[in-house]
Amino acid sequence: MYKAPVEEIAFTLNHVAGLADAVEIGRFGDLSSDLVSAILEEAGRFATNEMEPLGGIGDTQGARLVDGEVRTPDGWPELYRHWREGGWNGLTAPEAFGGQHLPHMLNVAALEMWNSASMAFALAPTLTMGAIEALVAHGSDALKEKYLAKLVSGEWTGTMNLTEPHAGSDLGVLKTRAERRDDGTYRIFGQKIFITWGEHDAADNIVHLVLARLPNAPAGTRGISLFLVPKFLVNEDGSLGPRNDVFCHSLEHKLGIHGSPTCTMIYGDGVFGGEKGAIGWLVGEENKGLACMFTMMNNARLAVGMQGVAIAEAATQKAVAYAHGRTQGKAPGWSGEGQRGDMSPIIEHPDVARTLITMKALTQGARAICYACAHAIDMSHHMAADEARHWAERAALLTPVAKSFATDVGVEVASLGIQVHGGMGFIEETGAARYLRDVRIAPIYEGTNGIQAIDLVTRKLPLSSGEQVRGFIGELKEIAESVAASNDPAFGETGDRLRAAIAALEAATGWLLEVQAAGRNSDALAGATPYQRLFGLTLTGCYLAKGALIDIGDGGAEKRVALCRFMAENLLAETSALKDRVIAGAASLEAARTVLA
Amino acid sequence: MYKAPVEEIAFTLNHVAGLADAVEIGRFGDLSSDLVSAILEEAGRFATNEMEPLGGIGDTQGARLVDGEVRTPDGWPELYRHWREGGWNGLTAPEAFGGQHLPHMLNVAALEMWNSASMAFALAPTLTMGAIEALVAHGSDALKEKYLAKLVSGEWTGTMNLTEPHAGSDLGVLKTRAERRDDGTYRIFGQKIFITWGEHDAADNIVHLVLARLPNAPAGTRGISLFLVPKFLVNEDGSLGPRNDVFCHSLEHKLGIHGSPTCTMIYGDGVFGGEKGAIGWLVGEENKGLACMFTMMNNARLAVGMQGVAIAEAATQKAVAYAHGRTQGKAPGWSGEGQRGDMSPIIEHPDVARTLITMKALTQGARAICYACAHAIDMSHHMAADEARHWAERAALLTPVAKSFATDVGVEVASLGIQVHGGMGFIEETGAARYLRDVRIAPIYEGTNGIQAIDLVTRKLPLSSGEQVRGFIGELKEIAESVAASNDPAFGETGDRLRAAIAALEAATGWLLEVQAAGRNSDALAGATPYQRLFGLTLTGCYLAKGALIDIGDGGAEKRVALCRFMAENLLAETSALKDRVIAGAASLEAARTVLA
C-alpha cells in the first residue's frame, strides 16, 4: 500500500528545488515553513488514508456509461466531495475566488501524492486546475464572476476539449465550428475525442473549454477560438438552468486509468430538444484560442510529469515492500537468519537490489526536476520584470524535460516494478501491473514526448540566444565542483561522473544550436529525443548531488550520498552514448528510411 | 494486421544463423533449401491467414472457467485442430512417434510466426513440445509408447507443473508430494500455480509433467522427482479411461495473454470420488527430476525468447503501417503531396522514423540471436563428439542472452509501438497495447531475466575455462574486420563501432571471469544484468553486419547495410556505458542498500 513519502517530498521541495530559501526571505508573503510542512502532512494523510484505498476499485470497476450518464467507480463521488471540502482544489487559485494563492510548488507536491494514490482520480482536479488557469488569464469579468468560484471550490469541474479524430498533435486542422449569435453567445457544433472526465457524476456541473473555428476564420492554428460551454447553463443567480446541447456519446476502452472517463463529446446534435448548437461563450479573443491554451500548457505538462513521478514512487514502494517479504534462493553472504531458514528475502540478491536502487534514483531525479520546474514557475510570478523573465524562460526550458523525463521514468520504473514481483507482477490483483497500465498514457498525452523533444530543441534551447540554457548548465557545473571540492570519499567517483555528464550535455547543446543556426533542422530533430534523455539524466545526477551535499540533521544525509553515488557510477555513463547519438546519429537516419518503405 | 515476414525470416535463418550452409553440406540429411522455403511459406500463410484473425478475440474474451471446465475463446478449439492437422506440432519430434525430425531452427522460425499471430495461443504447443522433449529424453519405453504419438500429433497437449506459491525461482522448496504404490505407480498430492494451458477444451487429453517430492527425499533440489500425470487415465488400448484426481481450481486474472488459461491445479483432492491422489508415473529416476527439467530448459527458454522476437515484429509492423497512414503536422522538407495537403504522414517526422528504425534494428537483432542459438542446438545434435560438445556449449552460452535480450526487446519495442500510435495506442481496440500486455510476462517466466543474467555470468562464461566465450568473441571480431575491410562507405562508422562494442564486451567478460576466480561473486552478480544487455547489443550489431555483408540478389542488400549502420551509429555507443556499469557499478551498490531499509 502506498504511503505518501512526505519527508522525501519536503526535503526535495525545500532543499533541492529551492522552496526553503524562497520562504525564508518572504518571497511568498507570510507563507511559513511550518505551514508548508502542515500542508504536506495533511495532503499525505489524505492521499494515504482516503484516496489510496479507493484506487484499486477505480481500476477494476472503471467508469461506466449508463443511459447517457457516466458513473464513476463506487465511492468516488464521496471521495471527490471529501477531497474538495478539504480545500485542495484551490491551493494555487486567486484568493478573490476562494483560492489560497499558495506557491505552485506546493500544488505540484500535492498532485504527486494524489496521483500516486490514484492517477485516474487525480485527473479530474488536474483538468479543473487547467480550466481555472485559462479563465483567470483570459476570461471576461462576467465569465470569471459566474464560473470561477465554483471551479475553485471544486463544486464544478473543468475539461479541455482539443482533440478530434484527425487533429491530435496538429490542432490547426480541427473542424469543430462555432457560430456567432447576436446576443454575444456562440453555438458550437462538432465532435471531440479523448475528453478526460468529460462527463461524470462527481460534481454538479462541468465547464467545458472547447477549441472551435469561426466561419471565415483563417486556416490553421490562427483561426482557432476558445469557448466556455457548460454542461448545465447557469442562471443569473448562479443556480443551474437547463441542460446545454452537449453530451457524452461513448467512453474509450483503455489500457489504464480505467476510473477516469475518457469521453467522446458531441456538441450541437440537439439531443435534448430545442434549437441545435451548444451555447458557448468566447474566452479571450476570436482566433486567439491557441494562445489561450498555451498559457496553461506549461502547468498542464508539468502536471503530467507529476503523474510519472507519482507512479514511479508508488511502484517503487510496492516493489521494495515485496522484495523485503518474498524469499527465494540464497543470496551471496546470506547467513540464513531466523525463521526463513536458508532462503533470503529477494532484496538481498544483488540484481534485485540494483533494480530497486535504480528505481529509487530515477524516481527521485524525476521528482527533483519537476519540483525545480515548479519553482521556476513560482519565481516567474513572484519576481519583478527582468528576473521574472529569466525564471519564465527557466520554466519554459525545464517543462519539456520535466514532462518527458518524468513520464519515461514512470513507465520504466513501473515496468521494473513488475519485474521485481516475478510471476506475481503479471497478476492483476497484485497491483504492480496497474501502475504500468495507468502511466503508459503519460508519455503520450499533453504533447507526446517526441513533441516535447522538438519543443525543447527548437524553441527552448534558442531562448535568449542560447543564454538561458548555457546559464543553466553553468549552475550545474557549480554542483559538480561542490561535490569534487567536498573531498568526501562516500561520493566515490561522483564528481568526475557529473563533470563528464555535464560536458556531454554542453557539447550536445552547442551542436544542436549550431546546426539549427545553419538551417539543418532535420539533423537537430533526429537527435531531439536522445538529447532530452541526456538532459534529464544529467539533471538527475546533479539534483541528487545537490541534495546529497546538504545535511539537515534528519539522519538522511548518508543515504542521499549513497544514492547519488550509485546513480553517478551506474546511470550517468549513458550520457556519453546519448551525446554521441545526438551528434552522430542523424547521418545514418536518411539512408535507413528505406527499411520503412 | 500482422503478415508473416517470411523473406526476412528465411534470410536470417539461412545467411545469418547458418542454416543454408548446413543444408548445403547435407548436415540435416535430405533436407533441401526448397523444402525449407516451402515450410516457411506455409507456416507464414497459416499464421497470417488463420491464426492472426483469431488473436484479438482471444484477448477480449480470454479463457473462462465454467463449472470446473476451462473454455478457450471462440474459434480456438477449431483453430487448434486445423493447426495440428497441418503437422506443425511435430516438426522436430522423432519420426518413430510421427514427428518430422526437422532442425530446431525451422521450429523456432515457425514459433516466431505463431507467437506474432497470437502469443496466448502459441503457448499451448510450446508447452506440449517441452513435454515431448522430456519424455523422449527421460521417459520409459512404456510411457513413450503410450503418450508420445498423441503428444506429437497434438491430439493431446502437455503442461509443466513446477511453480508453487512459495517456490518460483527456487524449486528446492516445493512441497507437492508423491507416494509410491506397489504397482509401480505413484499418487500425487499438492497445489501448483501458474500452470499454462493446465486445463482447456482444445484437446482430448492433457499430459501434466509434475515436480514432486517423495517421502524421505533429500532436502532441496536433489529431492525432486518428475511425474507424468494425465488428465484422463489412458487404457492399455490407448483409449481414454476415467478422470484422474487433478483439476483446475481457478484461473489467474492477468495483464495479458488472456486467451491462455493460467491455472491453479489441485492434485489429490479426491473431487471426482474414489481413492485420493492423482495417479502418476515416474519420468526418469527418483530424485533426479530437476535434471530432467534442465534437459528441456534450453529449448523452453529459447521458445520464450521467440515470443519476444514475435511481439517485437508484430508491434513494429503495426506501428510502421500506422505511421504511413496517419498525418499530423509538417515534417522538414515535406512538400505537401497529393490529397493530404500540408500534413505529412507521421513517418516523415525524424523522431518517428528514428523510433521505427530502432524498433526494426532491435527486432532483427533479437531474431538473429535466437536463430543462432537454435542453430547451435541443432549442431549439437548433428555433429560428432567434440564438435557436438562445442556446439552444446555455444547453445548454453547463447540461451540466456537469447531469452533475456529478446524478451527485453519485446517489451521495449511494444512500448515504442504504443508511443508511435499516440493517443490511439492507449485505446485497446487499436491492438498496440495488447502487444505490451502480452509480452510483459516473457522477461519473467521460464527464469526471470535476472536469473538468466546470473546463469550467463556464473555458469556460462566459465564454460571450458572461458574458452567458449573467448572463442565466440573471436568470431565476432572477424565480422567487424570484414566490415572494415569492405571499404563500403554505406557502412559509415560501422566497423569502428563494432570494434569498440566487441572490445567492451571482451573487457567486461574478462573482468567477470577474473572477479569470480577471485571469489568476488557478489560483484559479478551486481553487474550481471548490464552485462547481459551488453552481450545482446553487441551481438545485434554483429549479426546485422553479418547479414549486411551478404548480397543474395534479393534487392535487400542496401537496406540491410543501412539498418546495420543506423544500429551501429545510434545504439552501439551504449555498450561502453554498460561495460562501465559492469566493472565500476558494484562498488556503489552495498552503500546504497541503505536506501532500501
pLDDT at B341: 63
| Residues of B labelled catalytic | 446
| B163 to A423: CB separation less than 8 angstroms, yes or no | yes
Under an 8 A CB cutoff, do A433 and B425 touch? no
> In sequence order, which residues have a C-beta less than 8 Å from that of residue B560 and are 6 or more positions away?
B544, B547, B548
Which candidate from B253, B449, B589 shows the least CB-CB separation from A428?
B253
Nearest Cα of chain B lies from the Cα of A115 at a distance, in angstroms, of 18
Which residue, among A328, A334, A343, A403, would best test binding to B if mutated, counting the most B CBs under 10 Å from its CB? A328
Cell numbers at B114, concatenated: 505463431
Place of cell 476564420: A217
Q: Are B276 and B269 in contact (CB under 8 A)?
A: yes
pLDDT tens for A536-570 read 999 999 999 999 999 999 999 999 999 999 999 99
- Inter-residue contact B330 to B344 (CB < 8 Å): yes
Closest approach of A88 to chain B, Cα-based (Å): 29
ipTM score of complex? 0.97
Confidence of residue A78 (pLDDT cuts 50, 70, 90): very high
CB distance A342 to A327 below 8 Å: no
Q: What is the pLDDT, as a whole number, of residue A362?
A: 98
For A490-528, what is each residue's pLDDT tens digit? 999 999 999 999 999 999 999 999 999 999 999 999 999
Q: Does B11 touch chain A (CB under 8 A)?
A: no
B428–A254 C-beta distance less than 8 A: yes
pLDDT score recorded for residue A344:
92
Could you give the CA distance from residue A198 to residue A248 in angstroms, rounded to a whole number?
A: 7
B559 interaction partners in chain A (CB closer than 8 Å) = 594-595
Predicted confidence at residue B337, as pLDDT, reads: 59
- Please tell me the predicted confidence (pLDDT) of residue B450: 97
Say whether residue A453 is in contact with chain B using an 8 A CB cutoff: yes
B194 φ, ψ (degrees, to nearest 5): 60, 40
Q: How far is Cα B303 from Cα A101, in angstroms, rounded to an integer?
A: 59
Question: How far is A405 from A312, CA to CA, in rounded Å?
Answer: 12
Q: Under an 8 A CB cutoff, do A558 and B594 touch? A: yes
Whether residues A351 and B411 touch (CB distance < 8 A) is answered with: no
**Overall average pLDDT of the A292-316 stretch:** 92
Compare all CA atoms of chain A with the CA of B449 and give the residue at the minimum distance.
A419
Compute CA distances B151 → A274, A409, B99, B111, whole Å.
69, 45, 10, 17
Mutation target among A11, A344, A354 for the B interface, most CBs of B within 10 A: A354
Report, as residue numbers or ranges, the catalytic residues of A.
446
Beta-carbon separation of B163 and A349 below 8 A: no
Give the separation between CA A581 and CA A528, rounded to whole angstroms. Answer: 10
B555 at A interface, C-beta within 8 A: no
What is the pLDDT at residue A337?
59
B567 contacts: CB under 8 Å, gap ≥ 6: B361, B365, B540, B541, B544
What are the cell numbers at B358? 530502432
Interchain CB contacts (distance < 8 Å): A and B = 260
A565 interface with B at CB cutoff 8 Å: yes
Q: Which residues contact B537 (CB under 8 A, 6 or more apart)?
A: B365, B405, B501, B571, B572, B574, B575, B578
For residues B56 and A160, give the distance between their C-alpha atoms in angstroms, rounded to a whole number. 32
pLDDT of residue B43: 98
Tens of pLDDT along chain B (597 residues) come to: 999 999 999 999 999 999 999 999 999 999 999 999 999 999 999 999 999 999 999 999 999 999 889 999 999 999 999 999 999 999 999 999 999 999 999 999 999 999 999 999 999 999 999 999 999 999 999 999 999 999 999 999 999 999 999 998 888 899 999 999 999 999 999 999 999 999 999 999 999 999 999 999 999 999 999 999 999 999 999 999 999 999 999 999 999 999 999 999 999 999 999 899 999 999 999 999 998 888 777 789 999 999 999 999 999 999 999 999 999 988 888 876 554 567 899 999 999 999 999 999 999 999 999 999 999 999 999 998 889 999 999 999 999 999 999 999 999 999 999 999 999 999 999 999 999 999 999 999 999 999 999 999 999 999 999 999 999 999 999 999 999 999 999 999 999 999 999 999 999 999 999 999 999 999 999 999 999 999 999 999 999 999 999 999 999 999 999 999 999 999 999 999 999 999 999 999 999 999 998
Contact A454/B at CB under 8 A = yes
In this predicted structure, what is the pLDDT of residue A449?
Answer: 98
Query: Residue B292 and residue B167: Cα distance in Å, rounded?
Result: 18
* Distance, C-alpha A558 to centroid of its chain: 30
- Angle between helices A289-325 and A432-439 in degrees, nearest 10: 160
pLDDT at A86 over 70: yes
Establish if B485 touches chain A: CB-CB under 8 angstroms: no
The answer, for B522 touching chain A at a CB cutoff of 8 Å, is yes
Query: What local confidence, expressed as pLDDT, does residue A168 receive?
Result: 87
Overall average pLDDT of the A103-114 stretch? 98
Give residue for cell 500542508: A39
Mutate to test the interface with A, among B8, B251, B255 (most CBs of A within 10 A): B255
Q: pTM of the predicted model, to two decimals? A: 0.97
